[in-house]
Amino acid sequence: MNIIKETIKKLIIEHSALQDKCDNMFKGRHVIITGWYNGQPHGSSKKSLKGKNFIIRHAYLDSNRLCFFLEGQNLGIDSNDVEFAED
């Protein structure tokens, strides 16, 4: 049982390091929204922000995807729904 607990502990540390690497790599970069995204939970009537430029304030890596939390927005956006603006 100790081997399993040690493996879990190691995986958590590795994930944390990868999360930090993603955050440091993308934080502060400019992106342009390419998909339908309005920064609101599903069902909200706010206009889409497609084509707008934002700055990434935090990158979050989960088991399926990489999400970006943008300046002035409360919800994350999938990395597939943005393009990186030229710096």
Instruction: Express each pLDDT in 25-58 by its tens digit.
Output: 999 999 999 988 776 666 666 778 889 999 999 9
Indicate the DSSP class of residue 40. Answer: S
Lookup: tokens for 16: 């944390």
Confidence of residue 87 (pLDDT cuts 50, 70, 90): low
Tell me which DSSP letter residue 59 carries: E
Q: Which residue intervals of the chain are DSSP H helices?
A: 2-26
pLDDT above 90 covers what percent of the chain?
Answer: 66
Q: Residue 60: its pLDDT value, please?
A: 93
Mean pLDDT across the chain: 88
Tokens read off for 72:
């002035």
